[in-house]
Amino acid sequence: MQVLTRDHSLVNRLVELGQITSEEASNHPQRNVLYRALGQAEPVEPDIFMVQPSDATHLLLCSDGLWGVVPEEEIYELVHTFPNPRQACQSMVEAANANGGPDNITAILIRLPD
């Protein structure tokens, strides 16, 4: 799996700068502080980039309600266990809820052509 986007939060920026570890970020008291989000300021400056999928078979668009709650290994397994993307998304949302579901959970899975 390859993460294509980044979280615009204070703790993620601290991780990027090497000031704290990913493990410290997951328990940081300010882990929900955003420095860039929709509705904070106008105009919105989206991150726009192009990626050439190498050997990718799927593209998962998800919120931090899934990504930060379900381990990457489990997400990978769920994506590849269910033949139907809708079933895989439902299973990922159920896994996030089973792990506490502390935030909104959104998942869109796109199966890329061979």
pLDDT in tens, 39-60: 777 787 888 989 887 777 899 9
Residue 15 neighbours by CB distance under 10 Å: 20
Contact 87, 109 (CB under 8 A): no
Indicate the pTM of the whole model: 0.78
Q: Are residues 78 and 65 in the same domain?
A: yes
pLDDT at 56: 72
Helices (H) and strands (E) in the chain, counts: 5, 2
Q: Are residues 66 and 41 in the same domain?
A: no
pLDDT at 98: 95
Q: Are residues 33 and 62 in the same domain?
A: no
Contact 62, 108 (CB under 8 A): yes
Q: Are residues 43 and 9 in the same domain?
A: yes
Q: Are residues 16 and 64 in the same domain?
A: no
Question: Is the pLDDT at 81 greater than 80, yes or no?
Answer: yes
Q: Are residues 110 and 76 in the same domain?
A: yes
Domain, as residue range, for 77? 55-114
| Residues 12-22: tens digit of each pLDDT | 999 999 999 98
Give me the number of domains the chain comprises: 2
Which residue, chain included where needed, has tokens 């996030």? 96
| Residues 57-69: tens digit of each pLDDT | 899 999 888 987 8
